[in-house]
Structures are given as C-alpha cells and as structure tokens.
Structure 1
Amino acid sequence: TVAVCHIGVMRVLLAHATGWDFAGPAPFQIKRNRLYLLDISPKGWAAHPDPIRLEPRL
C-alpha cells in the first residue's frame, strides 16, 4: 500500500496506469480530497475509473 500526496507523482502513476504518454490532454483529472486506486499486478497497471471522495471527520 502506498499513499502519495504530490500531484506530480500522482500524474505519473495515473499516466502509467492509463497508458497516457503525456501527449495531448490527460484522460483523467486529479482533484483534491480524492483517493485514486491503482491495481498493480503481473498483468499490468489499471486505474479504477472513479476516485473516492474523502470527507473530513469532525
């Protein structure tokens, strides 16, 4: 399990998982307060289509 908070690192990981080569617009949007899940296996990387919105606890 890895948690990453820097947007630059998140873009690289999501680019790898989606096959985006940084040419043209990104096929994803990175937003604050979201949990982006990646499946990493011997078959390859895959990003879950919908990030999970994180709600603040009071």
Structure 2
Amino acid sequence: MIYLVGENLDKTRAHYQAETGKIVQLIRGIYVDADADADANVLRHAIRIATYLYPRAYR
C-alpha cells in the first residue's frame, strides 16, 4: 500500500512507523509498506502519486 502524508497518513505517524521499520520512505511524503513490492505499488498508484507531487499539473 502507498501512504501519502496529508492524505491517508499524518507526518508524526509516518515518522514513527518509518523508524520502527513498518513502512519505508520512497521520497518526501510518500511511503510504502516495508514488506510490500515497492515497484509494483508505485506503478499501480502512479497517477495518484503524480497528483500528490504536482497538484496543479493534473487538475
């Protein structure tokens, strides 16, 4: 699963879960489950990630 800070995860929880190894940070504000296939998740949610990173370009 993809976690986007501000959408489905707050920054405090993201930091804590990343420190405990439950999720892995891909880039600032975007995390994925530690045991998940990160490449597949990124491809599956590419439009959602692009909209998160560049909100004016995709609306």
TM-score (norm 1): 0.38
Q: Which has the higher helix share?
A: 2
Q: Which has the larger radius of gyration?
A: 1
TM value normalised by structure 2 = 0.37
